[in-house]
Structure 1
Amino acid sequence: MIPYLRLLLLAALAIAAGTRLSLAQNCSFTVSNVSFGVVDTLAGGQVNTTATVNATCTGLTLSRILICPNLGAGSGGATPAARLMVSGGSVLAYQLYSDAARSTVWGSYLWAYAARPPSLSLTLGVLGGGSANYTLYAAMPGGQTTVAAGTHLSSFAGADVEFRYRYSLGNDCSVLSGSVERPGFNISATVASNCLVSTQDVDFGTQGVLGTNVDATGRVSVTCTPGNSYSVGLDGGASGGPPTARLMTKGAETVTYGLYQDAARSLPWGSGSVPGEAVAGTGTGTSQDITVYGRVPPQATPSPGTYADTVVVTVTY
């Protein structure tokens, strides 16, 4: 009888051990990639996007699981003000948030900065399982005009991603306990090549008899993505004339004028259809001012009045 009782006791212990194992919570997580898509850094505005964090858990029926999703700096690094994406030596700032207003940074208890992760929770169902989705908010601030064109990236893996979870009725994520999962994901943005242009008119002022050269200047201001090569062409105006023989008009009457690249008025500035007649440059992300040199040569003086022409500026990049 004694061996038989020992056998029953061992079986009971085995059953109890199996019951304890079945109570252990188990979670898996995925984080979708955060993509800002193609962005125009010269546009000046903030770019927002979101990603989805999914949690799928099993464990004790109707139990609550506390999830503490620590997110660090990512492979691009971080500063106290922002996380960073990189493309070679080019750096693009962004940030991750836990709220739609993008006021609370989604951080970590494991990095050097003050921001901490949100506390998430999931309550299991009557069959001991459950899943939930949470939104990860991201923002790329405007004003980053000096960032070079190209795809910028930061990867989250390893120590930069630590999702801790455990049974708990509280929300204290400062206690670094529980099981750990490390779901990887990427942050990316492609900075597009772009140029912006503005102008200042060439005003020859009020003149009498057109017996000598009348000179004046205007300006073309070009802002292009850093490293972006560009050329600036000026068309022939309403008359479609050559660079040094454009026409300002008042009804059927005209005044001949020319536009040039240099103060000596020796290099005509045209549309660029003729080699050397357009002005070339390379973008810096800041405004680059190019002087337009105008000249009205001596000619027969038409009747008094205002003579004008419209020249279209074309920036090719």
Structure 2
Amino acid sequence: MTMLIRTSLGVAAFLSASPVLAQTCSFSMSDMNFGFVNLASGSAVDSTATLNVSCSNPLSLALSVRICPNINAGSGGQSGGIRRMLQGSNSLNYQLYQNAGRTTSWGSAEIAALGSPPAIDLALPLLSNSTTRTVYGRILGSQASATRGLYLSSFAGAETRFNYASYTLLAPSCASMNDNPTQVAFNVTAAVEPTCIVTAQPINFGGHGVLNTIVDATGSISLTCTTNLAYSIALNGGLSNSPPASRQMVLAGSSITYGLYRDLARSNVWGSGTGQIATGTGTGTLQTLAVYGRVPVQSTPAPGIYSDTVVVTVSY
């Protein structure tokens, strides 16, 4: 007997896909160092930092990548959308910007008050591509009252979140992108230097026929010094290098004796020697000190305009 046995032989093919290598990006940011800053004038101070971006495309596909560099408030925190550097309990207001005109803030999708991050689109037709972006910084003006010393805001850990994703036609929005979160550390620093800005108002004793009575007049010295900065103000002896109460206004070979004082009673002379110097402490705002002048009774010289020049020296 012949038996025919039929069966089936299964044939299977297993096709293993090669791993798809996605785009990868790396970042680095230089520190933003404002250096020593003079804030006594109330002016703003500018600086910059550089963001470096490098992306690779192992498959060499004609794709692009969008990068969303979110920069948060930093360790100094923020106030009303303005970032701060700190020195203990003292703060210094500054901001980061996308443009050299410093009109568009560089912000983060995480903190709306800081503004938005700038989208960076990078084409990847080759194996890799790279680019740089400048981050523009400004210490805001009108901060003459800032205490001297080193101020810092650190952007470590979660203070930055750089996201990136590849695309072909339509780029994803930075407002909702969470792909490939990367933290990029950098610091923002500034050193507020001790400074005084000084101006002086002339003393005019006016016109007189004879000097048979005492003539008084008042001038002033105005200065703006860094907060908590101790200073002293000395006045030299004028062109004749005379003692504080015996300075001389001159015209040709003639002179008029006069004195400068720190008090209205004209009992405390103002000079450059021990016990003759005015002292104070800066407030970061304008301070004005009166200079009291006196022409004592003396022989009247020939008619004319008599003058002297006194040098004001502020030490701090």
Distance 2:11 2:298 in 1: 126
Pairs within 5 Å for 1:41-80: 41-59=39-57, 60-61=59-60, 62-80=62-80
The 1:155/1:206 distance shift into structure 2, 3 A limit, reads same
Structure 1 stretch 31-40 or stretch 53-62: which is displaced more?
53-62
Distance 2:219 2:259 in 1: 12
Pairs within 5 Å for 1:135-214: 135-168=134-167, 169=169, 170-214=171-215
Are residue 88 (structure 1) and residue 88 (structure 2) matched? Answer: yes
Distance 1:4 1:279 in 2: 106
Distance 1:279 1:290 in 2: 9
Task: Report if aligned partners of 1:93, 1:140 keep a CA contact under 8 Å in 2.
Answer: yes
**Correspondence for 1:37 among 35, 42, 46:** 35
Ranges in structure 1 where 5+ consecutive residues have no aligned partner: none
Secondary structure of the residue aligned to 1:100 is coil
What do you get for the CA RMSD once the two structures are aligned?
2.0
Query: How many matched pairs?
Result: 305
Alignment match, 2:23: 25
Alignment match, 1:311: 310
Deviation of 1:212 after TM superposition, in Å, equals 2.6
Alignment match, 1:299: 298
Q: One-letter code of the match for 1:66? A: R
Q: One-letter code of the match for 1:86? A: L
When normalised by structure 2's length, the TM-score is 0.91
Q: One-letter code of the match for 1:63? A: L
The 1:188/1:297 distance shift into structure 2, 3 A limit, reads same
Pairs within 5 Å for 1:161-310: 161-168=160-167, 169=169, 170-271=171-272, 274-310=273-309
Deviation of 1:304 after TM superposition, in Å, equals 2.1
Deviation of 1:171 after TM superposition, in Å, equals 4.7
Structure 1 stretch 234-243 or stretch 301-310: which is displaced more?
301-310
The 1:108/1:3 distance shift into structure 2, 3 A limit, reads farther
Q: One-letter code of the match for 1:256? A: T
Secondary structure of the residue aligned to 1:113 is helix
Alignment match, 2:3: none
Q: Which protein shows a greater Rg?
A: 2
Deviation of 1:81 after TM superposition, in Å, equals 4.5
Summarize deviations over 1:232-280 as a string: whole Å, max 9, x none.
1111011100001001111111111111111111111102xx2111101
Bigger helix share: 1
Are residue 106 (structure 1) and residue 123 (structure 2) matched? Answer: no
When normalised by structure 1's length, the TM-score is 0.90
Q: One-letter code of the match for 1:69? A: P
Summarize deviations over 1:10-66 as a string: whole Å, max 9, x none.
xx33xx1x423xx22222111111111221112343322221111122234232111
Q: One-letter code of the match for 2:69? A: P
Secondary structure of the residue aligned to 2:19 is helix
The 1:211/1:137 distance shift into structure 2, 3 A limit, reads same
Distance 2:119 2:9 in 1: 53
Distance 1:175 1:3 in 2: 53
Alignment match, 2:5: none
Distance 1:297 1:123 in 2: 84
Deviation of 1:158 after TM superposition, in Å, equals 2.0
Secondary structure of the residue aligned to 2:101 is coil
Distance 2:81 2:179 in 1: 30
The 1:69/1:259 distance shift into structure 2, 3 A limit, reads same
| Percent identity of equivalent pairs | 45
Distance 1:244 1:142 in 2: 42
Summarize deviations over 1:168-217 as a string: whole Å, max 9, x none.
24151112331110010001111111111111111111223322322111
Secondary structure of the residue aligned to 1:244 is helix
The 1:3/1:263 distance shift into structure 2, 3 A limit, reads farther
Q: 4+ residue stretches of structure 1 with deviation over 4 A?
A: 2-6
Q: One-letter code of the match for 2:143? A: Q
Q: One-letter code of the match for 2:95? A: Q
Task: Report if aligned partners of 1:119, 1:171 keep a CA contact under 8 Å in 2.
Answer: no
